[in-house]
Amino acid sequence: MRHRKKRTKSIRWGIQKSDNKLRNLLTSLIENGQIKTTKKKAKVLKANWDKFFAKLISKFDKYEDEKEVKREIIRQVKSVVYTKKAWKKVVEELIPRYKKEEKKSWFIADYKLGFRKGDWAEEILVKLL
């Protein structure tokens, strides 16, 4: 049985290193729109950051004033994303687009590309929708 097993903690880098690597992956994904990575990293990235974007979208239901919502979203995004370019893209482009489309989930998609030449690991293309 799968009691007390977290699917998203399956990569064993250590807690701090794991958090930093996932934040780096997300920052790269936001800046470029897509990244190539291994199957395991893609699975963890998708599970964690779909929840993150869903949480940002749900802020619109909690606050009535749009300035308060934007301030809260900026605060949360700055705590996760590393570069200024990336968090501006999230606040100015991605969140309004997702809100307009009324998306609640499926913000990130993954596509199989085949296998890498060097170590024969399965490669996945991760894209923002």
Please give the biggest Cα pair distance in the chain: 52
What is the per-residue pLDDT for 85? 92
Token pair for 14: 């250590």
Rounded CA-CA distance 37/27 in Å is 14
Write out the CATH class of domain 15-128: alpha beta
Classified as helix, coil or strand, 115 is strand
Write the pLDDT tens digit of every residue in 36-93. Answer: 999 988 988 888 888 888 888 888 888 888 888 889 889 989 988 999 999 899 889 9
Confidence of residue 102 (pLDDT cuts 50, 70, 90): confident
Intra-chain end-to-end CA distance of the chain, in Å: 34
The answer to whether the CB of 87 falls within 8 A of the CB of 70 is no
